[in-house]
């Protein structure tokens, strides 16, 4: 159909040729089943003549996987074609994909054949493949560096011998979108016959997807792709990027009033990406288009504000449409007050006014030290600020430590009260004790720690330490809480939080009686 773009997936053939990837039959079969669920039209299951293992994998896929056409790759040697057919013949629908190089470099240095020999070999190979199936694809390897007239001579011979798909490989990623598209358009003008033009683009210059899309616009109706863009060297055109570019920019990919599209079920893209990554051992880069973990994550405050007003401000795709779940508002040092308050509200925490300002200021301070703050981190921050917001007398301006956690240490703190700074230095048995002694000296509040508890809010080396203490001073017992990526600082904040409560109680003349229950 003129408005249908065929998705030919080569994850299990070209993708598996990536250095370090070696899939067994079971793993290939698992990926092939997922590709069928994804809705690709063709699965190039492997290169059957390459090894017994590859043959068995292609054969197993041909027997088990329903839906897509199962394809095997073959050189022009008759034995290769026979072996390919042995593997794919069990499928509901089969294709043999035959290739031979047509560039001067490949013919001279690799094939050691003349142009006349290459033309004859291509014609004979396609004719031999047609003995087995009427679905034969032919590829002139290194097409983008081939002499155009000679390449078209070989393509004509292939079509005359029965090829139904002509794939034009940019084998070494040499093509530029404009010239690659022009080459494909000219092929249609000079090679007569009933066939589909296909693309197979490598990413050596980072242009695989761009070249593929330019070719589609120029008339190509099959695109050869690999999940996550894996493949030889820099990889192949990424399936997920090609599919979503065509679908998202339907306004551009329209021909004679017909909107181009694929049969791919886009909501399976993320799952397919994860499966391929897990089985191949090739990680997906965080900022990978469509399927990367950051593809729908927003940290910048301006972006977050826009997203909270209307997702279309910064997202051109719905993350759920590609299986990525919901948009992620990631709270970090670039986040703004709007996103911070919205996240708290979604967590069921409603704070306003000075309490919100204080919590946000504390959040920004900690975000400079911790790359990403979780819901648990936010809960700890809010708990700390709410615990100290009622009657905060002293603010911690700075704290310095000297020594170690073992043995004598000293600490210097600077507290602020009503705009005035108070500085004090004290020694203690370890840095936590030194910090508390310095706060006592600066605030004028003495007391005894009756309880001290420290815990990690989350996992990881940059986890927040959450310290809760009890301080008894002049018969009054209060609690204090502090949060920081540094447990010594968290302890100092907890102690100061308790000191502030003691000061307020004294100023108000409050008496607290201990009530003993039954």
18-58 per-position pLDDT tens digit: 888 888 899 999 999 999 999 999 999 999 999 999 999 99
- Per-residue model confidence as pLDDT tens digits over 300-310: 556 655 655 66
Boundaries of every domain in the chain: 6-280, 297-384, 391-508
Percentage with pLDDT > 70 across the chain: 82
Give mean pLDDT, residues 261-274: 94
More confident residue, 95 or 480: 95
Q: Is residue 494 very low, low, confident or very high in pLDDT (cuts 50, 70, 90)?
A: confident
Sequence-separated contacts (24+) of 344-351 with Cβ below 8 Å: 344/378, 344/382, 347/375, 347/378, 347/379, 349/378, 349/379, 349/382, 351/382, 351/386
pLDDT band at residue 473 using 50, 70 and 90 as cut-offs:
confident
CATH of domain 391-508: 3.30.160.270
CB atoms within 10 A of CB 477: 17
Confidence grade of residue 514 (pLDDT, cut at 50, 70, 90): very low
CATH number listed for the domain at residues 6-280 = 3.20.20.70
Residue 353: alpha-carbon gap to chain centroid = 37
Task: Give the up-direction half-sphere exposure of residue 298: CA atoms within 13 A in the CB hemisphere.
Answer: 24
pLDDT tens digits along 372-418? 565 556 666 676 665 544 456 788 888 998 876 566 889 999 999 88
Beta bridge partners of 427: 410
Query: Model's pTM, two decimal places?
Result: 0.71
- DSSP, collapsed to helix, strand or coil, labels residue 74 as strand
Whether residue 343 is predicted with pLDDT greater than 90 in this model: the reply is: no
Is residue 21 a contact partner of residue 279, using CB atoms and an 8 Å limit?
no
């Amino acid at each position: 159909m003129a408005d249908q773009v065929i998705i030919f997936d080569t994850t299990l053939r070209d993708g598996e040729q990536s250095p370090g990837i070696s899939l067994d039959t079971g793993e290939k079969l698992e990926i092939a089943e997922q590709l069928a669920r994804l809705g690709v039209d063709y699965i190039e299951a492997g290169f059957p003549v390459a090894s017994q293992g590859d043959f068995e994998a292609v054969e197993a896929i041909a027997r088990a996987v329903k839906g897509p056409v199962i394809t095997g790759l073959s050189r022009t040697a008759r034995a290769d074609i026979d072996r390919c057919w042995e593997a794919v013949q069990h499928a509901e629908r089969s294709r043999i994909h035959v290739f031979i190089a047509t560039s001067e470099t490949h013919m001279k240095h690799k094939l050691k054949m003349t142009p006349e020999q290459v033309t004859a070999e291509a014609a004979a190979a396609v004719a031999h493949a047609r003995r087995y199936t009427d679905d034969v694809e032919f590829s002139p390897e290194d097409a983008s560096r081939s002499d155009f007239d000679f390449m078209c001579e070989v393509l004509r011979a292939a079509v005359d011998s029965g090829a139904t798909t002509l794939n034009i490989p940019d084998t070494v990623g040499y093509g530029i979108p404009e010239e690659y598209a022009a080459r494909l358009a000219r092929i249609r003008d000079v090679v007569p016959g009933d066939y589909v033009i296909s693309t197979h683009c490598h990413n050596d210059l980072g242009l695989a997807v761009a070249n593929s899309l330019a070719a589609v616009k120029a008339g190509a109706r099959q695109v050869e792709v690999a999940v996550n863009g894996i493949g030889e060297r820099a990889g192949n055109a990424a399936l997920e990027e090609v599919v979503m570019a065509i679908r998202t920019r339907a306004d551009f990919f329209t021909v004679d009033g017909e909107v181009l599209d694929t049969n791919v079920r886009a909501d399976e893209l993320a799952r397919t990406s994860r499966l391929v990554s897990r089985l191949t051992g090739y990680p997906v880069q965080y900022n990978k288009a469509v399927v990367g973990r950051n593809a729908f994550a927003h940290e910048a405050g301006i972006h977050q504000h826009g997203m909270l007003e209307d997702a279309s401000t910064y997202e051109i795709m719905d993350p759920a449409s590609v299986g990525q779940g919901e948009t992620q508002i990631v709270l970090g040092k670039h986040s703004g007050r709007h996103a911070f308050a919205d996240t708290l509200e979604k967590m069921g925490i409603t704070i306003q006014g000075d309490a919100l300002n204080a919590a946000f200021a504390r959040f920004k301070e900690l975000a400079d030290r911790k790359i990403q703050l979780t819901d648990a981190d936010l809960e700890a921050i809010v708990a700390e600020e709410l615990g100290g917001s009622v009657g905060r007398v002293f603010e911690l301006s700075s704290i310095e430590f000297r020594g170690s956690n073992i043995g004598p240490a000293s600490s210097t703190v600077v507290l602020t009260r009503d705009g005035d700074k108070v500085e004090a230095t004290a020694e203690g048995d370890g840095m936590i004790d030194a910090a508390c002694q310095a706060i006592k000296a600066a605030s004028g509040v003495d007391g005894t720690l009756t309880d001290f508890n420290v815990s990690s809010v989350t996992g990881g080396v940059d986890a927040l330490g959450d310290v809760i203490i009890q301080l008894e001073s002049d018969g009054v017992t209060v609690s204090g809480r502090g949060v920081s990526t540094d447990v010594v600082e968290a302890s100092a904040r907890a102690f100061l939080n308790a000191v502030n409560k003691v000061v307020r109680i004294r100023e108000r003349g409050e008496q607290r009686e201990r009530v003993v229950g039954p």
